[in-house]
Structure 1
């Protein structure tokens, strides 16, 4: 197995998190009352319960570096998530940023920011 890291993100309700991420093509690979692991292909996200978190003020975020950012964005958009700059959950379409990288974003139902980053060697 290749070395890797997985983000650990807060979730107000683990069952709601499973439902949200399942709609985006993630599968639950582990879950108990204190921890949840969701996976989509090689992308793995881990969640811990934090029922008192405030989605409006969380600073939790991570980058999902993928070979096809457009496919991941399309899977998110197909669920009906709004592309907007207010509220959560929401989407931001991938675009070339000042860094030269194509980056979009998904803000989940708990306000966690997941940057959707195109792997440069794949794009």
Structure 2
């Protein structure tokens, strides 16, 4: 038996979201007026329309685990995202919190937070 859980995130504009994630290396696997799936390697994230979302008030998030966050961070950095703490969108540097794996954060244009975790450093 195989199970998969995928993130479902809001999008204020599918075309804009699609362009943002394409710049990071994702590919569109499905898109309609009511649903969009972006794929990244063997993973995927699903988006639902939410035209009223306020990026600075968003509480949506997802995690992406990788066994090579340095390479992944370098790939995402090629998109030219801001590194300012309050910018939306933004990309942080790699950091480590106490009792947590090494990670970096990505915030998309609608304020959804991605925690990109070092799979080799996971405690669980």
Counterpart for residue 65 of structure 1 = 65
- For structure 2, the residue ranges without an aligned partner over 5 or more in a row are none
Counterpart for residue 6 of structure 1 = 6
What is the alpha-carbon distance in structure 2 between the residues aligned to residue 91 and residue 50 of structure 1?
23
TM-score, with normalisation over the residues of structure 1?
0.93
CA-to-aligned-CA distance 1:46-101 (integer Å, 9 cap, x gap): 10000001001010001111111111211111111111201200011111221241
- For structure 1, the residue ranges without an aligned partner over 5 or more in a row are none
Counterpart for residue 56 of structure 1 = 56
What is the alpha-carbon distance in structure 2 between the residues aligned to residue 112 and residue 40 of structure 1?
17
Counterpart for residue 89 of structure 1 = 89
What is the alpha-carbon distance in structure 2 between the residues aligned to residue 3 and residue 30 of structure 1?
20
TM-score, with normalisation over the residues of structure 2?
0.92
Q: How many residues align?
A: 122
What is the alpha-carbon distance in structure 2 between the residues aligned to residue 4 and residue 69 of structure 1?
21
Contact 2:35 2:49 in 1 (8 A): yes
Contact 1:94 1:116 in 2 (8 A): no
CA-to-aligned-CA distance 1:31-56 (integer Å, 9 cap, x gap): 10000000110221110000001001
- Shift, 1:2, TM fit: 3.6
Counterpart for residue 30 of structure 2 = 30
What is the alpha-carbon distance in structure 2 between the residues aligned to residue 33 and residue 113 of structure 1?
23
What is the alpha-carbon distance in structure 2 between the residues aligned to residue 32 and residue 94 of structure 1?
35
- Shift, 1:121, TM fit: 6.5
